[in-house]
Amino acid sequence: MEIEKRSMEIIAPYLKNLNLTDEETKVYSRMIHAAGDVDYASIIKISSKAIDATKKAIQNGKNIFTDVEMVRTGINKRTLSKFGGEVFCKVADEEVKKLAEREGITRSMAAMRSFGEELNGSIVAIGNAPTALFEVLRLVREEKILPAVIVGIPVGFVGAADSKKALADQNQIPFITVEGTKGGSPIAVAAINAIIYILNNSR
């Protein structure tokens, strides 16, 4: 707890010109801490309704759907479960493996596709695979699937920046993302856990 407080103090000067709300400050700080990289202050993008939408979804016991096991592992499931929600990841399922082979798509894409209508009203958390984020955006656009919020933070040099730009360029679903090549599972986890803790501390 003391480490967290000290960390927030160190990060604070990098946020002071961003005009953030208290809740945004908490989310930014936890994301920046998870990367150990203050340059995130200028590349984190949170749409205006994203934190409220995430809070409401958690409070209503909605589930969280992730692209990779590392994101599922990192989310504080014990605290989330106080609100009724659970966290699901299908990337290692046999059924998803077969779907990916049959359709010639990545397993991460197949995993998101197989969630299908379960994503309606839920929280999507992507920390690794650009293809998973592109697939969720396709589900929104073409199949009228409407998650409550998309935390989309894939990482790397092939597709990640483009997938996150596509997320930030749509205005149908509230989102939390990071511009460019940086990102990854702990950053997506940090955003979600920050909001879980905001809710838990105000119970």
Q: Of 111, 155, 191, 195, which one interacts with a second copy (CB under 8 A)?
A: 155
Count the residues of the shown chain that bind a second copy, applying the rule CB under 8 A. 29
Residues 122, 180: Cα–Cα separation, whole Å: 25
DSSP state of 183: -
Closest listed residue to residue 152, CA positions, set 192, 115, 117: 192
CB of 10 to a second copy, least distance (A): 4
Residue whose CB is less far from a second copy, 121 or 156: 156
Residue 182 touching a second copy (CB under 8 A): yes
Q: Which stretch binds a second copy (CB under 8 A): 16-24, 96-104, 153-161, 194-202?
A: 153-161
**Token pair in block for residue 140:** 């929104």
CB atoms within 10 A of CB 169: 9
CB of 103 to a second copy, least distance (A): 17
User: Under a CB-based contact definition with an 8 Å cutoff, are residues 151 and 144 in contact?
Assistant: no
Q: Are strands 44-46 and 175-178 parallel, antiparallel or unpaired?
A: antiparallel
CB of 155 to a second copy, least distance (A): 4
**Token pair in block for residue 153:** 């933070």
What is the per-residue binding string for a second copy in 5-44, x denoting contact by CB under 8 A? Answer: -xx--xx---------------------xxxxx-------
What's at 4, amino acid-wise?
A: E
- Note the residues at the interface with a second copy (CB under 8 A): 3, 6-7, 10-11, 33-37, 69-70, 72-74, 155-160, 180-186, 189
